[in-house]
Amino acid sequence: MYTIIELEDNGQDFLELITDEKGVIIDAKPFQKEAWVGGVIPIETMLEVGEALPIHKPPHINYGFLKHNVKSIKQVESYDSN
């Protein structure tokens, strides 16, 4: 199971973060995949539409939040990064 998290558009280079079943980021769209892959989003406990995105991506973000709110959350069975 994969989770596609769409963020509000505030002019940033990424609008979606895709995680595996454990909340580990495996892709970012449309840009900045390299910057975000490996980060962790607590998809089971803290992720809510309309709220700031919780994320852990050391060394720059340690158990913090992005300033971009979550616009939508969608779970899918399969994901193709192409």
Q: How far is CA 17 from the centre of its chain?
A: 3
Q: Quick one: average pLDDT of 68-72?
A: 96
pLDDT above 90 for 82: no
Percent of the chain at pLDDT above 90?
87
Q: Quick one: average pLDDT of 45-62?
A: 93
Q: Residue 34 belongs to what H/E stretch?
A: helix 33-36
- Band of the pLDDT at 80, cuts 50, 70, 90? confident
Does this model's pTM top 0.95? My answer is no
* Separation of alpha carbons 82 and 65, rounded Å: 28
E strands, the chain, are: 2-7, 14-19, 25-30, 52-57, 61-76
* Separation of alpha carbons 65 and 67, rounded Å: 6
